[in-house]
Amino acid sequence: MHKLARLPRTAPTPRSPRPHLSATHLVRGAVAADVADIHQLVARHAESGVLLPRSEADIAAAIDDYIVVTDGHGRVQACAALQEYSPSLGEVSSVVVAPEAQGTGLGSIAVRGVEGMARRRGIDELFALTLADGFFSSLGYERCAIARYPEKLARYEQLARRGIAIVPKSCYRKLTSWS
């Protein structure tokens, strides 16, 4: 019988300089107490046109459509929302990560939370408009033409009539496999 040679111990892998998720992050449906934090995140990006503006009243009225990711102290670090256009179509919107938490995967987790919400609601197709093309591609979304979503184009026209500048973005879609 041959003895098995002992393999030398390898040195521990150095830690990545990129922060990672810890067990202290919580993904949950947003509640009324989150409205101000969500508004602060969204407003920061709405000023530049990256996101459509939303007032605190708009967010409060749709609070059941928001997902938040909080840190161990309960601070909202990321959010995303599901905007329903029909019983089978929804938009992943208002995806924002706090500056200090960017690059940690919280945006992906927030989008996955919205996908879970869509699944529970029976939505068959999701779409998103973005300037971060690689982000949605990495989550399994495929690029498509915004013309596919006349509901969104109509909303853009309505906002433009109110004087809100619309920044051109790429459109991505994902057909859900849970239907």
What tokens appear for 177 in the block? 């496999």
Q: Is the pLDDT of residue 11 over 90?
A: no
- The β-bridge relationship of strands 89-97 and 125-130 is parallel
Sign of CA dihedral 5, 11, 16, 22: positive
- Tell me, what amino acid is at 115? E
Measure the CA dihedral 30/123/98/160, to 10°: -110
The whole-number pLDDT of residue 12 equals 38
Q: Is the pLDDT of residue 134 over 90?
A: yes
What tokens appear for 7 in the block? 């393999």
Instruction: Spell out the domain ranges in the chain.
Output: 26-175
Q: Is the pLDDT of residue 15 over 50?
A: no
| Least confident interval from 9-18, 65-74, 145-154 | 9-18
> 114 - beta bridge partners?
none
- State the alpha helices, DSSP H only, in the chain: 35-46, 56-61, 106-121, 133-138, 150-161
Per DSSP (E only), the strands in the chain are: 26-29, 66-70, 76-86, 89-97, 125-130, 142-144, 170-175
Name the region of 108 (left: φ>0; alpha: ψ -120 to 50; beta: rest).
Answer: alpha
Arch. (CATH architecture) of 26-175: 3-Layer(aba) Sandwich (3.40)
Q: Tell me the average pLDDT across 74-93.
A: 96
pTM of the predicted structure, to 2 decimals: 0.83
What tokens appear for 77 in the block? 């670090």
Q: Is the pLDDT of residue 130 over 70?
A: yes
| Least confident interval from 111-115, 143-147, 157-161 | 157-161
The whole-number pLDDT of residue 53 equals 87
**How does the average pLDDT of the chain come out, rounded?**
86
Q: Tell me the average pLDDT across 141-150.
A: 96
